[in-house]
Amino acid sequence: VGGTLSCASCGRGYPLVDGIATLISAEDLDRYQPFLAHYRRVRAAEGWLVDPATWRTLPYPPPDMPHAALWRRRSRSFERLLAVLADRGRGRPLAILDLGAGNCWLTWQLARRGHRVEALDINVDASDGLGAVPEDAAGAFGRTQAALERLPYMAGQLDVVVAAASLHYARDLAAATAEIARILRPGGAMILLDTPLYRTAAAGQAAVARRLADQRLHYGSDGAGTSGSGYIVVWALRHACRRAGLSYREVPLHGRPRALVGRIRRAFGSAWRTTQGAQMPLVIGERLC
């Protein structure tokens, strides 16, 4: 769980700390520190941290958990993801990267179904980041601290890159999409879930402004609250996919019947303010060649 990884071409060393490969330079990591400090504070205050027993139940936490309604919604996209993976794998384990994996609940769920999975995140926090994985589950998959805009993998290696509620944190959507496409094998797929997509930049900006105002009110700081613009506009994602050589397909998941809106709005709390006006389809971008 300790030691050093060396770059085969330049010889530079990267430490392995508590089983997590640190594949980001200290200078690059420094740039994310304001975001990480703010993010940890908000996540703890909003009640997102879970104990190891609850971690294993995700995305089906006990009904009295904070954000239980949101997790119910997430469980539906998770089930759809499993169906898509089953279809792609046809019984064979897939090589999957969980991008922006957070506490790795999804990485674990995929690994225990036999897939070869790697979790990547900038956050190694012991309560909510890569370090939050219970000890007896940590051997089931690899963990890498790196930035999603600069993926430390060779080209054409992976069957699937899954990004659950994380790609909207990218500082540069086009660069992140190109990186994802680069590490996919031809025919492999990027799959986005629980990722708020807006039809217009104005709608995305309005949602982010609401969230920042909320964070100013409750936490006294805002600017570092997202690592990127904090929203994705559909046409920009489509464009990024096309330029990266990925197809683009949306699988609708969550209808928003009127009767449900009020209930979801109350259950989401400040998370709702981020996603208001957004759709969260499963997005599948297949590498064409």
Applying CB under 6 A, which residues contact ligand SAM?
Answer: 100-102, 106, 121-123, 147-149, 164-166, 169, 227
What span, in angstroms and rounded, lies between the C-alpha atoms of 169 and 229? 7
Q: Is the Cβ–Cβ distance between 132 and 124 less than 8 Å? A: no
Our CB check for ligand SAM shows the closer of 166 and 215 to be 166
**Of 269, 261, 192, 272, nearest in space to 232 by CA:** 192
Our CB check for ligand SAM shows the closer of 8 and 53 to be 53
Our CB check for ligand SAM shows the closer of 123 and 215 to be 123
Our CB check for ligand SAM shows the closer of 28 and 288 to be 28
Our CB check for ligand SAM shows the closer of 165 and 241 to be 165
Least separation in angstroms between CB 171 and ligand SAM: 6
Our CB check for ligand SAM shows the closer of 227 and 275 to be 227
Q: Is the Cβ–Cβ distance between 181 and 246 less than 8 Å? A: yes
Question: Tokens standing for 37?
Answer: 């400090």
Three-state DSSP at 160 gives strand
Least separation in angstroms between CB 96 and ligand SAM: 13
Least separation in angstroms between CB 123 and ligand SAM: 3
CA atoms 178, 184, 186, 188: torsion sign: negative
Q: Is the Cβ–Cβ distance between 285 and 247 less than 8 Å? A: yes
The CB-side HSE value for 76 (13 A sphere, CA atoms) comes to: 13
Query: Can you state the percent helix, strand and coil of the chain, rounding each to 5?
Result: 45, 20, 35
Q: In this chain, which residue has its C-beta nearest to ligand SAM?
A: 102
Least separation in angstroms between CB 90 and ligand SAM: 26
Q: Specify whether the backbone of 18 is left (phi greater than 0), alpha (psi in -120 to 50) or beta.
A: left
Least separation in angstroms between CB 227 and ligand SAM: 4
Least separation in angstroms between CB 167 and ligand SAM: 9
